Chains A and B, each alone.
Chain A
Amino acid sequence: MPTHPPREHSPARRRFLQTSFAGVLVLAGSSLVVRRSLADTAAAANPYAWLEDQDALIVRRVAPVLLSGALPDGKARGEVLDEIVYGFDLAVSYFPPSVRGEIRQLFDLLRNSITRALLAGMFSSWEKATPAQIEHLLKRWEHSRFRLLRSAYAALHDLVAGAWYGNPRSWPRIGYPGPPVLK
């Protein structure tokens, strides 16, 4: 895999990128952190154990790019994407609160238009994001010189890829015969 030339970052931004997502959100003047921690405990009227609708949309948009070449086309694709979002949600719901908190910050960062533009180079909303824009985000984070963004990439990668390859529907495509049948 080729590496991508690092972009220029201001020292202040670099400092924040070395601390935490929360630090980045503060830098961007975001009030999401507070609002979100309240919402975390409220039972939301959505089908997920933990994801909010906006988070689910992000997973749904990122997954086909991150897994391009691995998902079925046509009618099955929509179902499979639903299952990936569901698997992602289930895994996060088993995390301890501290880890869930970090994933929450990651989604806040991706949902906030300022941090999204600043750190992911994405200037459009998730509703309007093109696959090319999402590819750009993945490339940028995958090889970022900031550990925080690399770890954000790794978290998204593992949750999305884990949700798909834990699903038996992915197995015929990779030649994995599945667990043996016990007699």
Chain B
Amino acid sequence: MSASIESFAGRVVRCERLREDREVQGDVVIVGTGAGGGVAAEILARAGLKVILVEAGDFKTRADFHMQEAEAYPELYQEVASRKTMDKAITILQGRALGGSTTVNWTICFYIPEPTLKHWAGRYGLGMFDEQELSPWYEEMEKRLRVQLWTRHNPSNLALQRGAKKLNWKHEIAHRNVHNCRSLGYCGTGCPVDAKQSMLITTIPGALQKGAMLLTRCRADRLKWKDGRVEMLECSALDSKGSDTTGVRIRVRARHFVVAGGGIESPALLMRSQVPDPSALLGRRTFLHLTAGSAAMMSERIDPYYGAPQSVYSNEFLWRDGVDGEVGYKMETAPLHPVLAATAFKAWGQAHAGFMHQIPHIQPLIALLRDGFHEDSPGGRVHLRDDGTAVLDYPITDYLWRGARAAFASMAELQFAAGANKVLPLHSDARLYGNWKQARKAIADLPMQPLHAQLFSAHVMGGCMMGPDPERSVVDTDGNHHQIENLSVIDGSLFPTSIGANPSMPIYALAARQASRLAKRIRS
């Protein structure tokens, strides 16, 4: 157990308040405080290294979390929870907070699936990541984050279970990183009771307790490097909203630099810094677990805003066509609060009002497509805008569209099996369907095009691919940059494909492994 973050206020610099430029120095600077950076910070600090954490998000504690979407989306998410891919076809829900996405995620924990590891071994030379290598790191992080099997399912998850059972589809119950969880259902707006074992209440205070320093509302602009070594990180202070810079600059000097900004911001920082990229893979192969949604209208109250958001899932279609066949998808529920519902459903006027009126009876399902396992799923590419900020170009291939169509159908089939009166695929040309036969026929004809199907992502992966071969990867299997000696990437951007399951635990475990090895390397 660590003391809470408030007790270390003296080690926190809230950069929006700075009036003059600052220079700080430590052993290791870590850019980003999410699943990768948070875990790395505590391990490196415990190893006796002076850690400096750089975070663009605001300093927040549970006292700031009021279960209000109108507050949480602007303050805790990238681009007000409506970050878009370049063609605006995919909405990316990504944290921009102290604790990164772990502060706002829905807490479901999975291991890297066996078929994913085999694919990585065969295709990307990552055979070292086998069960034997990974299990101690899973164990360590499960203990640290109090991961537990969850059995108190809300009506929405019970409906998933019921439908899958009826169809004889695979379904299982999930683990969550929570302690004394009160099943409020507001994981997505920041846990108001500190039940969620996010980085905010675990590893970040853990690192601060060991002498780390934290800079919030601090944006990492570029790494200054020379002769194969990074010398300094240049940062800009952001204003209290995090939308503009204040003009104050912060320079951070360290022996080692860890980039942990996630699948979009990590490659973007390296691109802005113009680090060598002989593999030409930097900012490429970015994956999203492209996600489609379906809303079922049930007779009974579902209250989809209450209770642990995700606790039952179905892998029926995840590997059905083999690892590199037609794209597989994992089926889960999603919490549905009013703003999320109102923006996911793109109609207007009476149709929209009628949908919103149903909200207590809506059972939402989502299907996450595992992208990156097939040659027709090469992922996205990070671009830098003129102002240096990042935007993801993610073309949706026919292969993925086929998967999205299949996913819409599977979700509707499950929802009708679970007792739905009507089902609405989240697609602007779809309507409410009254039975499975009607839905199946209509879904087969829906145009699968950008901004027709509503598509989402809550998992950004890849962009700084790891591998043993410098010509085919950005960093090595410990996350160390192939060309720059004192630079590492420790976050979900290392993955060579998507995971095929919610990626927080894989990021925690790999980060623990990589940071532990890095600590030894720096100290020697």
Residues of A participating in the B interface, judged by any CB pair closer than 8 Å: 1, 3, 65-70, 87, 90-91, 93-100, 135, 138, 142-143, 147, 150-151, 153-154, 157-158, 161-162, 164-167, 170-171, 173-177, 179-180, 182
Q: Do A170 and B88 touch (CB < 8 A)?
A: no
| Cβ-closest chain B residue relative to A167 | B70
Q: Say which residue of A67, A147, A164 sits within 8 Å of B88 (CB atoms).
A: A147
Q: Do A170 and B193 touch (CB < 8 A)?
A: no
Summarize A's interface: helix, strand, loop or mixed.
helix
Q: Which residues of A contact B431 (CB under 8 A)?
A: 1
15 contacts across the A-B interface (CB closer than 8 A):
A1-B430, A1-B431, A66-B349, A66-B352, A70-B352, A91-B74, A93-B243, A98-B387, A138-B349, A151-B88, A154-B88, A158-B82, A165-B341, A174-B359, A180-B306
| Cβ-closest chain B residue relative to A100 | B243
Say whether, besides A96-B79, A179-B186, A166 and B359 are in contact (CB < 8 Å).
Answer: no
**What is the distance, in angstroms, from A98's C-beta to the closest C-beta of chain B?**
5
Q: Do A175 and B353 touch (CB < 8 A)?
A: no
The stretch of B61-69, B114-122, B220-228 in contact with A is: B61-69
Interface centre among A150, A164, A177 (most CB of B within 10 A): A150
11 more contacts with CB within 8 A, not counting A67-B349, A154-B451, are: A66-B348, A67-B348, A67-B353, A95-B80, A142-B347, A151-B87, A161-B339, A174-B360, A175-B359, A176-B305, A176-B360
Can you list, as one digit per residue, whether each of B377-397 has a CB less than 8 Å from chain A (1) or not (0)? Answer: 000000001010101000000
Say whether, besides A94-B241, A176-B360, A154 and B349 are in contact (CB < 8 Å).
Answer: no
- B438 contacts the other chain (Cβ, under 8 Å)? no
| Cβ-closest chain A residue relative to B69 | A166
Can you list, as one digit per residue, whether each of B54-87 has a CB less than 8 Å from chain A (1) or not (0)? Answer: 0000000000001111100111000110101001
A50 to B327, CA, bound (A): 43
Q: Do A69 and B343 touch (CB < 8 A)?
A: no
| Cβ-closest chain A residue relative to B241 | A94
Q: Do A90 and B74 touch (CB < 8 A)?
A: yes
Q: Do A68 and B66 touch (CB < 8 A)?
A: no
**What is the distance, in angstroms, from A78's C-beta to the closest C-beta of chain B?**
19
Q: Which residues of B contact A150 (CB under 8 A)?
A: 451
A167 to B338, CA, bound (A): 9
Q: Which residues of B contact A91 (CB under 8 A)?
A: 73-74, 80
Q: Do A166 and B339 touch (CB < 8 A)?
A: yes
Q: Do B351 and A1 touch (CB < 8 A)?
A: yes
| Cβ-closest chain A residue relative to B388 | A98
Q: Do B350 and A180 touch (CB < 8 A)?
A: no
- B100 contacts the other chain (Cβ, under 8 Å)? no
A166 to B73, CA, bound (A): 10
Q: Which residues of B contact A97 (CB under 8 A)?
A: 243-244, 387, 389
| Cβ-closest chain A residue relative to B238 | A96
Q: Do A94 and B387 touch (CB < 8 A)?
A: no
A166 to B435, CA, bound (A): 32
A153 to B348, CA, bound (A): 10
Q: Say which residue of B243, B338, B351 sits within 8 Å of A95 (CB atoms).
A: B243
Can you list, as one digit per residue, whether each of B490-515 has a CB less than 8 Å from chain A (1) or not (0)? Answer: 00000000000000000000000000
Interface centre among B79, B342, B349 (most CB of A within 10 A): B342
**What is the distance, in angstroms, from B371's C-beta to the closest C-beta of chain A?**
21
Say whether, besides A1-B431, A96-B389, A179 and B243 are in contact (CB < 8 Å).
Answer: no
Q: Do B68 and A179 touch (CB < 8 A)?
A: yes
- B276 contacts the other chain (Cβ, under 8 Å)? no
Q: Which residues of A contact B242 (CB under 8 A)?
A: 94
| Cβ-closest chain A residue relative to B245 | A97
A52 to B350, CA, bound (A): 29
